[in-house]
Amino acid sequence: EIVLTQSPGTLSLSPGERATLSCRASQSVGSIYLAWYQQKPGQAPRLLIYGASNRATGIPDRFSGSGSGTDFTLTISGLEPEDFAVYYCQQYGNSPRTFGQGTKVEIK
Amino acid sequence: QVQLQESGPGLVKPSETLSLTCTVPGGAINSYYWSWIRQSPGKGLEWFGHLYYTGTINYNPSLKSRVTISLDASKNQLSLNLRSVSAADTAVYYCARGSSGYFSGWGQGTLVTVSS
């Protein structure tokens, strides 16, 4: 099973700042088999990015993904108030599908 | 946004079987992989497995001995049975629509508590 480790655990930033979230895999997930999700309290996760860098339908372009192999990054170019949430990465290069433990982006 | 709706008992006794259903939008069932995922404070997000309408199933090995996922296309329903539950199975359970391995649509989730 591939273990995904996200860092940092919590990111304290102000609106307008840039957020950089990391996801590291215990072994290669391939070049593109990585997704990112956003979750707000009381809600289900929402797909943001698939294929490491493709935005899902309706996702603003301030969200971008990059990386390949074992190291991936989610960048939020300028935080909006609605972006403060928990973010998860998920790999689908191998079975079972696995998720990272999450990074909480909180208001500083 | 895809409308998925989980339903089932919110309380299950230890050692019993947890059974949930998920209603899938009509017409969509033949186009995607359908998964169950749960979320708990202790284990985070955990994937149970997925099923394609053709009958192809892939289970998470860590849960495979206790899990059955099935699909009733005539009712547009996805089902989950988890046997021999314990307190460690207390979680929010989601059904999700899968595309190539990532999850493009989720239900709202249903909390299941295992307790006597």
What percentage of chain A exceeds 70 in pLDDT?
100
Phi then psi for A82, rounded to 5 degrees?
A: -75, -5
Query: Does the distance separating the beta carbons of B103 and A35 come in below 8 Å?
Result: yes
Q: Which residues of B touch A99 (CB under 8 A)?
A: 44-47
DSSP B32: S
Stretch A48-64: mean pLDDT, rounded?
97
AA identity, residue A2: I
Question: How close does chain B come to A40, measured CA to CA in Å?
Answer: 12
Can you give the pLDDT at residue B41?
86
Q: Does residue B2 carry a pLDDT above 80?
A: no
Stretch B72-100: mean pLDDT, rounded?
94
Cβ-contact B60, B73 below 8 angstroms: no
Nearest neighbour of B61 by CB, restricted to A47, A96, A99: A96
Stretch A7-20: mean pLDDT, rounded?
97
Phi then psi for B65, rounded to 5 degrees?
A: -70, -15
- Show Cβ contacts of residue B109 under 8 Å, excluding neighbours closer than 6 positions: A44, B6, B39, B92, B93, B94
Helix (H, G, I), strand (E, B) or coil at B38: strand
Query: Does the distance separating the beta carbons of B109 and A47 come in below 8 Å?
Result: no
Can you give the pLDDT at residue A2?
96
